[in-house]
Amino acid sequence: MRIVLLGPPGAGKGTQAQLLTGRLGIPQISTGDIFRANVGQGTELGKLAKTYMDAGDLVPDEVTVAMVEDRLAQPDAAGGYLLDGFPRTVAQAEALDALLAKAGSPLDAVLEIQVPDAHIIERLSSRVTMIDGEAVQRDDDRPETVRHRLQVYAEQTAPLVDFYRATGALRSIDGVGEVDEITHRALEALGVA
């Protein structure tokens, strides 16, 4: 299956992406993880991405789309994948559509995890992320950056809900509850429970 996971920062996308890809036997492709790995390795891409990430802004579309195009061309993506954190703008969604249309391999589903803002702020301020094997608070999980990321989500990413509703691929689930319960909702929404 080719799946896009959509939802605000802190909706549990990373956690669900990991569980779902384990169940479905497909790779998880997280643009945030790829950017963080590049920052960690000090690559040119990492240096560029870091300035945007630290501010809670989106990395420019051209850079992000080129990176995803490369990743989707890897052999492990041939049998399907779950995109986590991409697309994040309508321009990215259009670029992805064009890419997949060219390859004759359209998306099977876009899974939207819905979580109210109040939950998100609480979750992000207390979350820890494993980076290089260590549990740390991400720089961009600081309260002032979180507020900005939520604003960026509302302005640039939320329009994708309508974009994908129009294509008929959108499946929305309630992201509040126990982790296992949400995975079950997701599998049901994908028709594979």
Residue 185 falls in the annotated catalytic set: no
- Say if strands 129-131 and 134-136 run parallel, antiparallel, or are unpaired: antiparallel
**140 scored as a contact of ligand AMP (CB under 6 A):** yes
Task: Classify 135 as helix, strand or coil.
Answer: strand
Q: Find, among 116, 69, 103, 93, the residue nearest to 170 by Cα.
A: 93
Concerning whether 138 is annotated as a catalytic residue, the answer is: yes
Query: Positive or negative, the Cα torsion across 21, 1, 61, 11?
Result: negative
> What would the two tokens of residue 45 be?
């891409």
112 is a contact residue toward ligand AMP (CB under 6 A): no
Binding residue for ligand AMP, selected from 85, 113, 120, 153, defined by CB under 6 A: 85
Q: Which of 138, 142, 147, 171 is catalytic?
A: 138
Please indicate whether residue 171 is annotated as part of the active site.
no
Taking the complex as a whole, the smallest distance from the CB of residue 193 to ligand AMP amounts, in Å, to: 26
Q: Is 58 in the site for ligand AMP (CB under 6 A)?
A: yes
Q: Which entry of 13, 36, 71, 185 is annotated as an active-site residue?
A: 13
Asked, as a colleague might, if the bond just before 87 is cis with ω within 30 of 0, I would say: yes
**Bridge partners for 83 per DSSP:** 4, 29
Candidates 16, 21, 31, 38; binder of ligand AMP (CB under 6 A) is 31
164 binds ligand AMP (CB under 6 A): no
Catalytic one among 23, 50, 123, 127?
A: 127
Query: Which residue, 11, 14, 15, 48, is CA-closest to 157?
Result: 11
One of 6, 19, 20, 59 touching ligand AMP (CB under 6 A): 59
Which among 18-26, 27-35, 99-107, 109-117 is the span making contact with ligand AMP, rule CB under 6 A? 27-35
| Total Cβ atoms within 10 A of residue 103 | 11
CB of 85 to ligand AMP, least distance (A): 3
Separation CA 59–CA 46 (nearest Å): 10
Residue 186 beta carbon to ligand AMP: minimum distance, rounded to whole angstroms = 17
Residues with catalytic function: 13, 88, 127, 138, 149
